[in-house]
Chain A
């Protein structure tokens, strides 16, 4: 009997799109996503004897892809981290400043999101969440993806991307504030008509 692992060309049709979606969600760039998928298949071809069959082929391929993406993030961190510093040093600008009064109170009442469980069952919620993620500035989004979607620990992110914990926490705070506000405006607002 022939196993899947014996037909690498067939991998592309069977797993290509799933891997592509995985990469696209994390990289937010169709070209990079395609490139990572290709690298994943090539690496898998090379390492095919090591596929034990204990996990599914999809799981094995996804594991390779995850490593490739983390490697890319590390490589790109050097160029991205440079413009990191000024932003983290500047005071509260834009969204954060707008969100609070001079006395530090919320400048507007926060929207009522209703029952969280129900929210997650709405298809529309996911579409708006995706749009809001896409609107985050590139570096914020990258840190946020690493932390919340790839579930990397804070310490590991700081080490890999050579940033301080305080810097990371501030950036994650900004990302959360931005996403929250975007959802408040586009999802909750819409749901109420």
Chain B
């Protein structure tokens, strides 16, 4: 019989590799009986979805950090220098 701890590990692992037959069966039986683990599975699925969307969200965020004026100046100078030194 799988414990909640085993199941939490399996739920995470199922995002990395296909589970074997026994693993899937054990997982299904446990989830059927355990509300906490069902919740865990939904949350872990949501996490994956959220992280894949995070990049787009971060771009759209008006309060997101921007490249500082000093850094921009430094990069522009580096670009100008590189251009001057390449034929």
B13, B43, B50, B64: which contacts A173 (Cβ < 8 A)? B13
29 contacts between A and B (CB under 8 A): A12-B75, A18-B59, A20-B67, A21-B64, A24-B65, A25-B54, A34-B68, A38-B71, A41-B79, A42-B78, A46-B82, A46-B86, A100-B3, A106-B4, A106-B37, A120-B46, A120-B53, A126-B50, A129-B51, A148-B52, A154-B16, A168-B16, A169-B17, A172-B15, A173-B9, A173-B12, A177-B8, A179-B47, A180-B44
A116 partner residues in chain B, CB cutoff 8 A: 42, 45-46, 49
Does B24 sit at the interface, judged by CB under 8 A?
A: no
CA distance in complex: A181, B54 (Å) = 18
Q: Mark B35-79, 1 if CB is under 8 A from A, else 0.
A: 011011011111111111111011101001111100110111011
User: Which of under 10, 10 to 19, 20 to 34, or 35 or more describes the interface residues of B?
Assistant: 35 or more
CA distance in complex: A141, B73 (Å) = 31
B5 partner residues in chain A, CB cutoff 8 A: 96, 99-100, 104-105
Interface positions, chain A 159-181, Cβ under 8 Å from B, are 165, 168-169, 172-173, 176-177, 179-180
Per the CB 8 Å criterion, the residue count for chain A at the interface is 57
CA distance in complex: A126, B51 (Å) = 9
Q: Chain B: which residue is nearest A168 at the CB level?
A: B16
Does B6 sit at the interface, judged by CB under 8 A?
A: yes
B43, B46, B68, B74: which contacts A110 (Cβ < 8 A)? B43
CA distance in complex: A112, B43 (Å) = 9
Does A88 sit at the interface, judged by CB under 8 A?
A: no
B66 with A17: CB separation less than 8 A: yes
Q: Chain A: which residue is nearest B2 at the CB level?
A: A104
The B contact surface, by secondary structure, is helix
Nearest-neighbour CB distance to chain B for A174, whole angstroms, equals: 9
B44 with A20: CB separation less than 8 A: no
CA distance in complex: A30, B64 (Å) = 13
B50, B52, B65, B72: which contacts A13 (Cβ < 8 A)? B72
B48 partner residues in chain A, CB cutoff 8 A: 148
CA distance in complex: A37, B73 (Å) = 13
A125 partner residues in chain B, CB cutoff 8 A: 50
B3 with A172: CB separation less than 8 A: no
Nearest-neighbour CB distance to chain B for A105, whole angstroms, equals: 5
CA distance in complex: A191, B83 (Å) = 53
